[in-house]
Amino acid sequence: MKRMKFKWLSASLILAMLISLVAPLSAFAAVTLSVSNLQYRNTSFVPGTDPANPTPSVDQFTTNPITVIANFNGLGDDEIGNIYFEVTNINTGKSFVDKSSKATKTGSNELSFTNVNLTEGLNKIVLKFDGTVSTASAPSWAYYTPVSTINDLSINGETFIDGQMYPKSAPYTGATITGSAGNATSIDAYLNGTAYQPANFTRNQFTYITNTGRVNDMNFKPGDNSITFIAKNDTNTYNLDKSFIYDNGKAFAYNSFIDLKNGTAAPSQKLIQNPIVERPTSGTQNPNVTLSASLKNSMTSGVTDYVYADIYTVGTGGTYTVHYVFADQSFTVVGGGSLNGGDAAYQPASTKTTAASGNYEVHNIQVDLPINTSSRAQQVVVVFTPRVSTEAAQTSTFDFSYVDKSDAYVTSVGRVVSGVATPIAFNESGTTQITEFPSTMRVSTENTAQVLVKLNGVPYNDGSHSDGIYATTGTTGGTVDIVLQGLRDGATTLDVIPYKTTGASAPSSPAGGKSYNLLISAAPYVIVDNIYNGMVVASPTEILCGATAQCVSGRVINLGGGTLKATVNNVDVPITYDATTTNKFTVDLTSYFASDKTDGKKTVRFDISINGQKVTEASYDIFVFSANLPSITNFEPSYDTSDTRFTKDTRPDIYFTTASEVKITGTAANANLVVKYTKPSSTTPIAVSISPTSAGATGATFFSIATGTTPDGKIQLDEFGLYTFTVVGTNDSGATVTKSFTLNREATSYQIIEPKVIKNPDGKDQANINKNFQHIVILAENADSVFIGKEQASKDTRADHKNEYYFDLNDLKAGKNDVKFTVNRGKDKVSGSFILFNVDTPIEGNQYKSLLENKMKVFNGDVELNFPKDTKLMRNDRTDEKQYITTQRRILFGLANTDDGRVDKENEDKRGRNFLTETTGRFKPASKLVWIDAGTIEDINAPNEDEKLKDAMQGSGRLPNDTSFINTSVGQFYNRGIKDIVVPTKRGTLTLKYDANIRDDSWKYLTVYQYNVFADNNGNPVLARSEWRNIGGVVDLKKNTITVPVDSFGYFQVMYMDNSFDDVTNHGWARDYIDTLYSKGMMKNKDTSPSKFLPDESITRGEFVTMLVKIFDIPLENQDTLVGDSTNTHVFNGTFKDVQRGNDLVGSYGLYDFMHIEAAARAGIVRGNADGYFGHKDLLSRQDAAVMIARAADLKMGTDAAKVLASLQKSFTDGSSIDYYARPAVEAATKAGLIEGMPNVLLEGQKKQTVRFAPKDYFSRSEAAAIANRVLKQQKKIP
């Protein structure tokens, strides 16, 4: 019985124990997980398949990662770490299980995952628990579209807000732009049409370093700047336009607008966008513009740094400048000019505000300015004059276009970027870089059926347009996309010329074209997305391609048929590359880091090879540290690699220099930075001011900045010997890293700065030049003087050219020239020498300087300039008290680039090329482009008046794009005042050789073009225009030359008229006559009908007398008899009441003007009627034409009226009907064979032909052309 009880008790205990286990088992079974923050959740139905909920709301995400919040039951806190998630892409079927991301408890029964990465399309999210009992949540659902965004933009740490001024505070030497580009695999910034990649771009964070002077970095100009940021991924593009005002700490103009002047209305077109101003068509508007702008004037200790600003339009000859004084906010017009058409200028009172910082003032102004009507390219210039005379003036320039809206013209040319609606406009005044090919450009036009595209003067063939002609989308204006590919590297000129109609023979409209400077670089290169040089990571798993760890991604550009290879520390790693569409590559680092688990530097290198030859290498140093240690990846002196004063030793971190100052730069990460250096004579460290002073995990470039002792960030090297520079980087935990370099300041008695010399085979310093002169610069520290031969060199007084001495050496012979010089220091003398080898070859770039002589023949006889005896040079203002007449000034001759006008390509920019457009489209070059210049002499003021006066009397002509020594804000060939140009005191002749391949019979199409600043043709003494003018010329077939009279200098080129008018080409008998006169500028087509000549229209008195003035080379002004006051504004208004100085002659249609008619009156060719009128638009009778011809040709005319009449009656059947005043002239002109009679109709039975003179009949333009040709032949001006 007891045993039975014991068994029963044992069974009861076992049962109890089993029952006790039921509760835990029930707890495991009750574990639940359910998502709470997604809209469509906890259901196994794929969205759209649930009959009860056919159109559910499903979350749409555009950024990664997302946060998933869930409720849980049946788990302890220590078990939450066993929960993970699985994401399945329904579109691709691919799943991703993430057990490394841990959930965080956010409530009593709530947890969250903050880093759930989705993939594009519909995602199924399931939470799972692994424990004694495993469980999973019902699926939740979310769509993901990887929309790229650009956020958190800042400049130098300040939030980037449109329209604001940056940097907000010193230093003003540069700007660092940072931001984030969510979901983007690449980020580009476009400035002036050029694409720039960030200095680094990782984990969606990007950084741009600007204004470093490096070609790969953006360089902002002071004032208005506009940037387009474009972020991309595989499926999405996001673009963001931002504009801001770049503050360089000095004066500049910004917030500038322009429009055709319309009364007092404010302008509305932003000048930063290179706007188009249309030529006025109504009589109520004249070609003037209204400009509004904000003028920023920096301040020091409460006083403005700049005194006044001068505002003008380029090409108006300096005759109209608005002078704005900051102190009293007053406006005055200087130069004596007026607005076109006599418009009254409207200049409302300016407004002034002072910045809260007290660092600057802003003056808001509105002014009216005249347009240079002869040029499409227009430029507004604002020149700020400093209070301190030793400081440089500051200049702001703005470009716009002036077009006839009825003509064909190009409105813009820009780069088409995928995903961006508006093309990125090319830079019209600077250079646009294109580094990715093929590249599509879009040409936008008005009134244009087709465009001619030229690259470096050659029609561009994209593979299907051998003639370079591309049709637009519409005949009244449209667009055309052109693919650029297969281009050679280097500087390239792009010209786009519109045509109003289609067809190979359609007339072009070059005046409506646009020209751009491109820098082509088709070399292959790599753009990485997620690493940068100097990157620091705690683990290789932080190197991410999206969600994929241990991976590098990017794009390879212009690879073509080449190969791409990747290595890490010289170990090959797998790389995949899409060569067909995206050009993207991915480098798998997993295998490398599986075998290399050490910390330290890992150099990722990409090698690009073409045909087995390596052409490009790019490397990135990544530092793997288990802690976020500081790093300094680069530290060195900052200098231009072309600066011969600096050299780098073959050993690392060792440099040598002969310069007296230096800047420093470097890159660092995770560090607070301190830079110091020691001098040769001391071990005491000296601190260097740098910016920025710290670098975060993404890295930063630092550089020395300006302080009181280091102007412009330059550290003075005032001792010879070894300087040691050290940068110390410390992170927040105290870890420190240092990097140093040494700079050995070498003692030298002198250094030849200019020209750049090299050692010749004999071991002597030599420079090869192609000119007979040289500007010499010698650096000689602590020298008392420097002599070139026996002549003393001048010491440069500019702060950034200390210890430099300069001298202009002239009259070098062809071949070898030994130059000897002496450097004097007290009693010590050091002698030096070098060789200038003048190759003297008459090709583009050849230059020659000479004092003015009676006969000057240069460039192997290609150019000959002759003047009468005792001709001198003078400033072009005989009324001024100081005329600067001199025999010591030199003339510069140069052979220029036909396309952009540069003589010295190395030292000139291309900004002037748009002003050189030949606007008719009917002429092409037939000779070299010759630059002849005697320079300019502006008003001489402090400082350095003695030096400026010396330049005025003993200076010389300049390169076309150089500014004046006297006033550095003006003086380029397109920006000269008409009174400032230096001219000969007497008229000379210029003879140019033309292309010897041109056949003799084509003499009739040859002429000479001159570009200079010219007086207004309507005689307005205070207006001038910089433009091309057709000045004709006499052809010598034996010598292949053409000779013209010249009163001034400038560009000269023989041109060949190769595109006549259809109604001339098809004319029955006058084609050659008209072509000859039109080619030589003696006749024009009406400006109301640019595509026709209208040869059979009757000629007017004004047009015919203009032809005679040109045929006989009669000067338009006689400076010796010109009546005027000291300002030259009150001059003789004209001989005739209907032809008055300064007035547009109604009905002239551009065929004649005041100056030519008045020149004819002054020469006695025309006299007018009894009422004092000339009748310029009256039709010309044959007898009046004879009178003008006889007087112009100085023909001997009969004085016996009876004999004259008898002679005429014998010659002409209507001789008696010729008016009395015209009879002697008709007799003389007909006897000279210059004008002929007209045959009568033969009567029945009559055999002998008779002629009549028809004295009252009118001349057609074609008949006038025939007579003019006879006059030219009689004057021996045509063969």
Q: What is the mean pLDDT of the chain?
A: 89
Q: Answer yes or no: are the C-beta atoms of 894 and 928 closer than 8 Å.
A: no
Least confident of 355-359, 364-368, 1135-1139: 355-359
Q: How much of the chain is helix, strand and coil, in % rounded to 5?
A: 15, 40, 45
**Secondary structure, 3-state, 161-175:** CCCCEECCCCCCCCC
**Is 250 in a helix, a strand, or coil?**
coil
- The pLDDT of residue 1000 is above 60: yes
Give the dihedral of Cα atoms 652, 656, 662, 665; nearest 10 deg. Answer: -10
637 near 741, Cβ under 8 Å? yes
- Cis geometry, peptide bond prior to residue 925 (ω within 30 degrees of 0): no
Minimum mean pLDDT range among 103-117, 539-553, 1011-1025, 1120-1134: 1120-1134
Q: Own/partner pairs for 96-103, CB < 8 Å, 24+ apart?
A: 96/547, 103/70
Distance CA 1080, CA 1064 (A): 15
For the stretch 499-512, pLDDT in tens is: 988 876 777 888 88
Q: Is 541 helix (H, G, I), strand (E, B) or coil?
A: helix
Closest CA to 727 of 601, 635, 651: 635
Measured between its terminal Cα atoms, the distance across the chain in Å is 156
251 token code pair = 């004066």
pLDDT at 1121 > cutoff 70: no
Model confidence band, residue 25 (pLDDT cutoffs 50, 70, 90): very low
The values of phi and psi at residue 913, to 5°, are -65, -35
At residue 2, the pLDDT reads 44
Residue 14 has pLDDT above 70, yes or no: no
How far is the C-alpha of 197 from the C-alpha of 186, rounded, in Å? 9
Alpha-carbon span 776 to 601, nearest angstrom: 48
Scanning the structure block, which residue is given the tokens 């077009």? Answer: 403
Among the ranges given (107-116, 441-450, 609-618), the one the predictor scored with the smallest mean pLDDT = 609-618
Quickly state the pLDDT bin for 294 (edges 50, 70, 90). Answer: very high
pLDDT in tens, 678-689: 999 999 999 999
Cβ atoms within 10 Å, residue 467: 11
Residue-wise pLDDT tens digits, 33-92: 999 999 999 999 999 999 999 889 899 887 778 899 999 988 888 888 899 999 999 988
Task: Look at residue 963 and give its three-state secondary structure.
Answer: coil
Give the bridge partners for 578, in sequence order. none
What are the angstrom distances between the C-alpha of 754 and each of 362, 616, 627, 766?
41, 33, 52, 11
| Length, in residues, of the chain | 1279
Residue 390 has pLDDT above 50, yes or no: yes
CA-to-CA separations, 529 to 137, 187, 585, 587, in angstroms, rounded: 37, 9, 10, 11
Residue 843: predicted pLDDT: 96
* Mean pLDDT value of segment 426-438: 85
What's the average model confidence in pLDDT over 706-733? Answer: 85
CB atoms within 10 A of CB 239: 19
pLDDT tens per residue, range 33-47: 999 999 999 999 999
Q: What's the confidence (pLDDT) of residue 47?
A: 92
Q: In 412-448, which positions are buried (b, 16+ CB within 10 angstroms) versus exposed (e)?
A: bbbbbbeebeebbbbbbbbbbbbbbbebebbbbbbbb
Q: Find, among 1086, 1034, 1079, 1032, the residue nearest to 1059 by Cα.
A: 1079
Cβ atoms of 692 and 176 within 8 Å: the answer is yes
Residue 1125 has pLDDT above 80, yes or no: no
The more confidently predicted of residues 1130 and 495 is 495
Instruction: Find the mean pLDDT for residues 993-1010.
Output: 95
Helix (H, G, I), strand (E, B) or coil at 397: strand
535-537 and 613-624 beta bridge pairing: parallel
How far lies 1203's CA from each of 953, 1254, 1267, in Å?
Answer: 61, 20, 25
Confidence grade of residue 1091 (pLDDT, cut at 50, 70, 90): confident
> How does residue 708 score in pLDDT terms, banded at 50, 70 and 90?
low
Report helix, strand or coil for 930. Answer: strand
Task: For residue range 615-648, list pLDDT tens digits in order.
Answer: 888 888 888 887 778 889 889 999 887 787 899 9
Which residues in 261-327 belong to E strands, given as ranges?
269-270, 276-278, 288-300, 303-304, 306-313, 321-325
Q: What's phi and psi for 635, nearest 5 deg?
A: -160, 120
Antiparallel, parallel or unpaired: β 276-278 and 394-403: parallel
- The answer for 789, left when phi > 0, alpha when psi is -120 to 50, beta otherwise, is left
pLDDT at position 19 is 46
For residue 1126, the model assigns a pLDDT of: 40
State residue 1214's pLDDT score: 95
Amino acid at 187: I
User: What region does 463 belong to: left with phi over 0, alpha with psi -120 to 50, or beta?
Assistant: left
DSSP codes, 119-137: -SEEEEEEEEE-SSS-EEP
Q: Are 746 and 813 in contact (CB under 8 A)?
A: no
pLDDT at residue 18, rounded to an integer? 46
pLDDT at position 710 over 80: no
Q: What is the mean pLDDT of residues 651-662?
A: 91
E strand intervals along 1151-1256: 1238-1239, 1251-1252
**What is the per-residue pLDDT for 1123?**
56
Q: How confident is the model at residue 709 (pLDDT cuts 50, 70, 90)?
A: low
**Among candidate residues 996, 1019, 958, 534, the one with its CA nearest the CA of residue 729:** 534
Q: Which two tokens stand for residue 566?
A: 């990747």
Closest CA to 527 of 184, 236, 225: 184
**β-strand 765-769 against 828-838: which pairing, if any?**
parallel
